């Protein structure tokens, strides 16, 4: 479904991704792990076209997208939830969700129904549709960012550090929801600092180090491989 081949990216003179290749198949949860600064976020941002200087091939649903504009990615069914969430603090939960519809290929058709459907998996949001987003807890804001990405019905969603700064009980709830999303047909590419949690959820994993993939394996295999985790994933 998504194939990244020999992806390079630069921040100014700094050559941060040095030939990343990976694949995500339909219906999988794939996680990308590695130390701080390994290039995980830069990989996702490059796929979304958010890094100016980039080179390589990114093929999504059979189409080369590395240099396509953002709306073309949306139209093909690719969604991205960045680490910094980017919800609009002064708007209600409902209006933040509406923003996800504006960006979707279908526009604002069947709005109420789609908001209903998108929040079905997030009872906390459903109870708070008219609450101003700034008053949500960190975990609830993260759920809102995910629900907003899901409202357009993407085929593949890329999530950057969804558990960051969130209390454990909400993290468990969120990861349970990722399982359900996969069971309902959404494919997920996940960047996660919490390696055990990520490997417990994912089907397969790639380990990044200094801008290249140094290892990939079924997640269960990596979860049992303490040597690899120690070598490439300790902060
Ligand atoms: P983390 O878990 O810390 O977010 P990461 O694996 O996601 O790590 P990236 O954020 O992709 O790593 O960063 C890769 C490298 O690029 C790091 O050395 C980082 O310092 C550098 N970098 C990231 N963003 C910028 C930027 N805007 N300008 C310059 N260098 C950057």
Which tens digits make up the pLDDT trace of 104-157?
666 666 788 888 888 887 888 889 999 999 999 888 898 899 999 888 889 999
Q: Into how many domains does the chain fold?
A: 2
Atom 27, ligand 1: residue with shortest CA distance: 11
The rounded distance, in Å, linking the Cα atoms of 215 and 134 is 40
Which of 31, 34, 41, 160 has most ligand 1 atoms within 8 Å of CB, for mutation?
Answer: 41
- Cα 195 to ligand 1 centroid, rounded to whole Å: 18
Mutate to test the pocket of ligand 1, among 14, 42, 82 (most ligand atoms within 8 A of CB): 42
Question: Does a structural domain hold residue 1?
Answer: yes
User: Counting atoms of ligand 1 from 1, which one is nearest the CA of 39?
Assistant: 11
- Kindly state whether residue 135 falls inside one of the protein's structural domains: yes
State the residue for tokens 């549709």: 129
Out of 153, 182, 211, pick the residue that ends a domain.
153
Q: Give which of 171, 177, 87 is closest to 131, Cα–Cα.
A: 87
Digit-coded pLDDT (tens) for 70-110: 778 888 899 999 988 788 999 999 999 988 887 666 666 67
Minimal-distance CA residue to ligand 1 atom 25: 11
Residues 144 and 103 in one domain: yes
Smallest CA separation from ligand 1 atom 28, residue: 11
Query: Do both 167 and 146 map to the same domain?
Result: no
Domain boundary among 153, 184, 201: 153
Domain range for residue 125?
Answer: 87-153
Residue nearest to atom 19 of ligand 1 (CA): 37
Q: What's the mean pLDDT in 57-71?
A: 90
- Answer yes or no: is 82 within a domain: no
Residues 223 and 179 in one domain: yes
Tokens of 34: 């590695």
Tell me: do 53 and 5 sit in the same domain.
Answer: yes
Q: Let me know whether 111 and 168 are in one domain.
A: no
The atom number, within ligand 1, closest to the CA of 45 reads: 11
Looking at the chain, the whole-number percentage of residues with pLDDT higher than 90 is 55
In a 3-state reduction of DSSP, which class is residue 184? coil
Residue 94 and residue 73 share a domain: no
**Position 41 confidence tier, pLDDT thresholds 50, 70, 90:** very high
Residue 232 belongs to a domain: yes
158 Cα: distance to centroid of ligand 1 (angstroms): 17
Q: Which of 120, 137, 153 is the last residue before a domain boundary?
A: 153
Q: Is 149 found in the same domain as 97?
A: yes
Same domain, 1 and 70: yes
* Ligand 1 site residues, Cβ closer than 6 angstroms: 11, 14, 16, 34, 36-42, 193
Whether residue 64 sits in one domain with residue 91: no
User: Are 9 and 73 within one domain?
Assistant: yes
pLDDT band, residue 165 (cuts 50/70/90): confident
Closest CA to 145 of 196, 198, 80: 80
Q: What is the number of alpha carbons within 13 Å of residue 42 lying toward its C-beta? A: 26
Contacts of 214 (CB under 8 A, 6+ apart): 207, 208, 232
Q: By C-alpha distance, which of 181, 217, 172, 174 is closest to 199?
A: 217
Do 213 and 233 sit in the same domain of this protein? Answer: yes
Q: 72 and 162 in one domain?
A: yes
CA of 111 to the centre of ligand 1 (A): 37
pTM of the model: 0.90
For residue 231, the domain's CATH number is 3.40.50.300
Contacts of residue 60, Cβ cutoff 8 Å, sequence gap at least 6: 1, 2, 3, 47, 73, 76, 78, 156
User: What is the DSSP secondary structure assignment for residue 191, as one 8-state letter?
Assistant: E
Ligand 1 atom 31, closest CA: 11
Which residue's alpha carbon is at the smallest distance from atom 1 of ligand 1? 36
């Amino acid at each position: 479904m998504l194939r990244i081949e020999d992806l390079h990216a630069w921040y100014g003179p700094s050559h941060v991704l040095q030939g990343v290749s990976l694949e995500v198949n339909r219906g999988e949860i794939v996680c990308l792990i590695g130390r701080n600064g390994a290039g995980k976020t830069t990989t996702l941002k490059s796929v979304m076209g958010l890094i100016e200087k980039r080179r390589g091939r990114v093929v999504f649903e059979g189409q080369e997208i590395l240099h396509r504009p953002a709306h073309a990615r949306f139209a093909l069914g690719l969604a991205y939830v960045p680490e910094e969430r980017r919800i609009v603090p002064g708007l209600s939960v409902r209006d933040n969700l509406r923003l996800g519809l504006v960006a979707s290929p279908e526009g604002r058709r069947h709005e109420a129904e789609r908001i209903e459907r998108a929040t079905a998996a997030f009872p906390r949001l459903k109870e708070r549709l008219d609450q101003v987003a700034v008053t949500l807890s960190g975990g609830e804001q993260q759920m809102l960012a995910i629900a907003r990405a899901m409202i357009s019905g993407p085929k593949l969603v890329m999530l950057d550090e969804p558990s960051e700064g969130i209390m454990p009980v909400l993290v468990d709830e969120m990861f349970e929801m990722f399982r359900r999303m996969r069971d309902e047909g959404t494919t997920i590419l996940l960047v996660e600092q919490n390696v055990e949690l990520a490997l417990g959820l994912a089907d397969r994993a790639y380990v990044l180090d200094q801008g290249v993939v140094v290892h990939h394996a079924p997640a269960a295999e990596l979860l049992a491989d303490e040597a690899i985790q120690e070598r490439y994933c300790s902060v």
